[in-house]
Chains A and B, each alone.
Chain A
Amino acid sequence: MRPDPRFRVAIGGVLVALLAIGCNREPESVSSKARVVAKSGAVWGRDLANGLGLQEWELCAELGGYDCIGEAHLVALGGVEPAVLGIDEPLPNATVSAPIAVDRVASSACAERWDRDQAGPAVIFGAVLEKDSAANREAVASRLVERLLARTATRDELRALTDLHDAVAPVSSSPARDWGVGACVVVATSTEALFY
């Protein structure tokens, strides 16, 4: 399965910013349409839930009770609220809080998946939970891309995701968990996951 060429450097790009590491960029192609639209929060959340093996309502709740996508961050994530707020259509531009909302949903959902995998049976992080090794991290990275982006990861993407461990390990008391959740958030909030 091929990565969408319009988002080719998406994961790499995120990690470059995150880790100040580079990746080998392939020759640039130029789309004739270059038409990219954002997934609504509901659609992105459904993809996230499907990818992580969670129910949509399990992804994230603010203050323990307000569904992040359907309530708390509904408008920020591209939803509408015509009857009370008069927002008939998604806002034409992302709000300042939109990236924060995306991060909060992804962080919550990925942490929830880690905790459930730890309790078993594991859906995504099983290999690293069994043994935190480079090979197992690559297996988890591959699984994240396959489940969240519905395609096979490229070598560059796998390297970028596994290299994240080098940055996390020195500053984390739980490097396996922090790497796993962090890698999950990177994939879940990549351009390819948020847009189509």
Chain B
Amino acid sequence: MSRSPPPLTPRPHRSLLGFVGAGGVASLLLLVARPGVAQPPGPATFCEAYPDAPACAAGEVSCTTCHVSAPSLNPYGTDLQAALLPGAARPLAEADFTAALPDALAAVEELDSDGDGVDNLTEILAGSSPSDGGSVPAPPDCTDEDEDGWELCGYDLDYAYKKVMLDFCGRSPVFAEREAFQAAKDREALLHETLDQCLDSEFWRGMYGRVWNLANSKIGPLQAVKSGKDVGPIPLADYDDDYAYFVWTQTEDRDVRLVLTGDTFVSASHVDGVTVYEEWNRTPNQDYELRGYDRYQAVQRSRRAGLLTHRWFLMVNTMFTAIPRTTAAQAYRAFLGLEISKLEGLYPVEGEPVDYDSRGVQTDACAQCHSTLDPLAYPFSRYEGIGGGNGESYSYNSRRLDSFTDTDGAFVAETPEAGVLFGQPVADLIEWAEVAANSDAFLRATVSDYWEMLLGEPPRATEQAEFAELVDRLGGEHAYRVEPMLHDLIDTEAYGAP
């Protein structure tokens, strides 16, 4: 196995194009699947060909445009691949792929890849899927044949009011409330007043409430190893700290980026039936004295990066590993919406993976993802997991990897702390978190969390423009505050059309 010094040179402009030469199916997948900062030619070419396609409203198309799940192609992707320089030797060169893609797209426009009776071009322009037989263009005209007062073909304030009450207050409006709403002079204003009231409800912001449960898959609680309240049989860390911190960052006027960049902690308690969140900032020693060995937060303030350096996050993800790839992958998945195991968010770094811990990740099958994942994980490698390397568990330790040489080989100690995120070099986890929190992926993931919570599904193709505007405004005039974004969200037709 070759050993080389850590170059950590991102190649954002080549990025996924590098895989064009690696294999036909994989190349198509990666070119189409790639989200994020750089502009790979697959999605860009698709949207240059179909600028009016609803799926292009957000500036990119998803991997499901051509794939079922990577690397399997869906019917449209299969037709497209067949039309891409037929007869030419695979793998295609990068330049050949780029040059041939527009013609291939045009060649399959008149096909009906999914056999639903509607040709691909019509489906793409109408916002339905050319690869899903169950997805067909919506009727051009909504049908609202009776005069019952419901606005079936557009935003309906009465419907939105009931939905806001259910989604944010946790109950339907009673008869008198619905009558009062219908009689209100300014129903739009009343709708938003109602939302403001509901955002303060226990159902929404309280312990075990809706925002709290939004963090379930990010935190991954496990009662068996919980410390503190409701202690488990093997108390290792208290995820209540993580939940409280998460809700705190999502509510009131707080900057949601604090979920990754904050350097304080938050406690949650019930006072007269209302959950109270209190920010605190003790040193590890102070917290140890106050809460004891199995609960204290062990990272000093200068090395904290929001939830990424909480005790629970390090315990449950890093555990005993030297290079905590699982921790990095979970951070990528939970806060940036990118699932590396589905080949999402791949930004290969030149010279990676180096394989400092002798895991065999340089094999072709592994390197495809590990050239992104390993440099993504290096900044996490100085934070102790269970037991600690040669420092306190769950603390920051610049020499942590020295204690892994017996199990992972001497080379592991040379693993850099610096890494690469989205093709951008970062010196440590603090910079990693800054880049992540200021990324488009973070904005999209944040809006997606709430969109899917409230609408039960990702944005439909015809809703991409509304979704993109929510993303833009969250990072723009709303200054990363979730609650104003929610006011925007309830105004969308996706939310308010019955």
Contacts and interface: CB of A to CB of B under 8 A. Distances in A.
Nearest to B457: A35
B152 A5 contact: yes
Nearest to A88: B216
A27 B223 contact: no
Contacts of B216: 80, 82, 88-89
A150 B222 contact: no
B497 A33 contact: yes
Interface in B138-153: 138-139, 142-146, 148-150, 152-153
B175 A83 contact: no
Interface string A77-119: 0001011101011000000000000000000000000000000
A32 B153 contact: yes
Interface string B487-498: 000000110011
B150 A30 contact: no
A164 B147 CA distance: 29
Contacts of A147: 174-175
A83 B152 contact: no
Contact of B222 (A5, A27, A42, A83): A83
Contacts of B148: 2-3, 5
A57 interface: no
B172 A80 contact: no
Interface string B155-181: 000110011001000111111011100
B335 to A, nearest CB: 15
Per DSSP, chain A at the interface is loop
B171 A5 contact: no
B144 to A, nearest CB: 5
B226 interface: yes
A96 to B, nearest CB: 21
B175 to A, nearest CB: 5
B497 A30 contact: no
B213 interface: yes
A39 to B, nearest CB: 7
Interface in A33-88: 33, 35, 37, 39, 42-43, 46-47, 50, 80, 82-84, 86, 88
A30 B171 contact: no
Contacts of A84: 223
Contact of B174 (A33, A50, A196): A50
Interface string A146-166: 110011000000000000000
Given A28-B145, A29-B146, A31-B142, A50 B171 contact: yes
Nearest to A27: B145
Interface residues of A, number: 34
Interface residues of B, number: 45
B407 interface: no
Given A6-B498, A196-B162, A35 B172 contact: no
A150 B152 contact: no
B175 A31 contact: no
B300 to A, nearest CB: 29
A35 B455 contact: yes
A130 interface: no
A28 B143 contact: yes
B90 to A, nearest CB: 37
Nearest to B153: A32
B456 interface: yes
Contacts of B139: 30
A196 B166 contact: yes
B143 A29 contact: yes
B302 interface: no
B172 to A, nearest CB: 5
Contacts of B149: 2
A93 B139 CA distance: 27
Contacts of B175: 1, 146-147, 150-151
B217 interface: yes
Interface in B445-472: 455-457
Interface string B124-146: 00000000000000110011111
Given A4-B150, A6-B498, A83-B221, A150 B174 contact: yes
Contacts of B456: 35, 37
B171 A43 contact: yes
* 10 closest Cβ pairs, A-B complex: A88-B216, A30-B143, A32-B142, A83-B223, A82-B216, A83-B221, A27-B145, A37-B456, A88-B217, A33-B497
Given A30-B143, A31-B497, A47-B171, 11 more contacts: A2-B148, A28-B145, A32-B138, A32-B153, A32-B154, A33-B494, A37-B456, A80-B213, A83-B221, A146-B175, A150-B174
27 contacts: A1-B178, A1-B179, A2-B148, A5-B498, A6-B498, A26-B146, A29-B143, A29-B145, A30-B139, A30-B143, A30-B152, A32-B142, A33-B497, A35-B456, A37-B456, A43-B166, A46-B171, A47-B172, A82-B213, A82-B216, A88-B217, A89-B216, A146-B175, A150-B162, A150-B172, A150-B175, A151-B175
